[in-house]
Amino acid sequence: MKLTDSQIAEIEKYFNSCELTFKEFYDEMFDHFCSEIEYKMNESKSFEESFNEVHENFNSYKQKVRLGEISEFYGLKALEYQQAMYFDRNIKIEYFKNLANNFLTSKILIWLLIGLLIFKFLPYATINFKLNSLGSFTQGFSIPLNIFLAAFIIEKANLVEAFKHSTLGSLFSTKRRVFTDYSLKTVSVFKIVLIPISALIFIIQFVTLFEIQMDKVSQSIVFTLTILMLSTTLNFFIEKKILNFKIFKA
């Protein structure tokens, strides 16, 4: 038994109320929902009855999350978030595999060469910011800001979304929000961009804090590693391994 247009519209209304993020997931679930209702209607149930049964079934899922003030997703959103987590984890594994690939294959020769060139030609820089001085404060403030801006350029819409749902974002908003829309892409992209940069910041902070004078060898090693990480990240973006998700815009 085929669904009529008005019945399909009713199902669409329910789906839109779930505020899903991914087009592909939306389509898949929509098809499943409709197929199941059609099947139940073939067993001589009314549309309302079958709709309620399927709806109840879907709404029983829960997924714990930690996104600002959101602690749990329900129903379709929960299923979507689960899928998001699989992809997110996969992206991270892929990233570290790519990174390790540089060490385990003949590519390491190229990186050794780059390291030697840096050692030879880069001027020796002594890092000595004094803690508590104005310089280190600006440094400490501007680096995270730069990261945020970089991520903002890459994934503007998602970051706005992420900000809206964060605890920080809730300070700026006046109305109570329903917890729903959050895109997984933000998380992955954000983390991937953050990995090399935060590694560098960590080293700089470590050096500053303990006032270690870095010799030229370790300095060139740090530079080479940073370039390696950045190039892996760039490779990721060029091959569009991260950006192949279609975002759903209602």
Q: 114 φ, ψ to 5°?
A: -60, -40
- What is the distance between the alpha carbons of residues 30 and 151, in angstroms, rounded to a whole number? 32
CB of 132 to other proteins, least distance (A): 47
Element (DSSP H or E) covering residue 178: none
- What is the distance between the alpha carbons of residues 1 and 47, in angstroms, rounded to a whole number? 10
CB of 76 to other proteins, least distance (A): 9
**Residues interacting with other proteins, by CB under 8 A?**
2, 24, 27-32, 34-36, 39, 57-58, 60-61, 79, 82-83, 86-87, 89-90
Which one, 57 or 71, has the nearer CB to other proteins? 57
CB of 237 to other proteins, least distance (A): 19
CB of 179 to other proteins, least distance (A): 19
Which one, 25 or 129, has the nearer CB to other proteins? 25
Which one, 90 or 146, has the nearer CB to other proteins? 90
Evaluate whether 148 touches 162 at the Cβ level (below 8 Å): no
Query: Which residue in 16, 22, 8 sits closest to 247, CA to CA?
Result: 22
CB of 191 to other proteins, least distance (A): 16
Which one, 89 or 107, has the nearer CB to other proteins? 89
Which one, 45 or 216, has the nearer CB to other proteins? 45
Q: 73 φ, ψ to 5°?
A: -105, 150
Evaluate whether 24 touches 250 at the Cβ level (below 8 Å): no
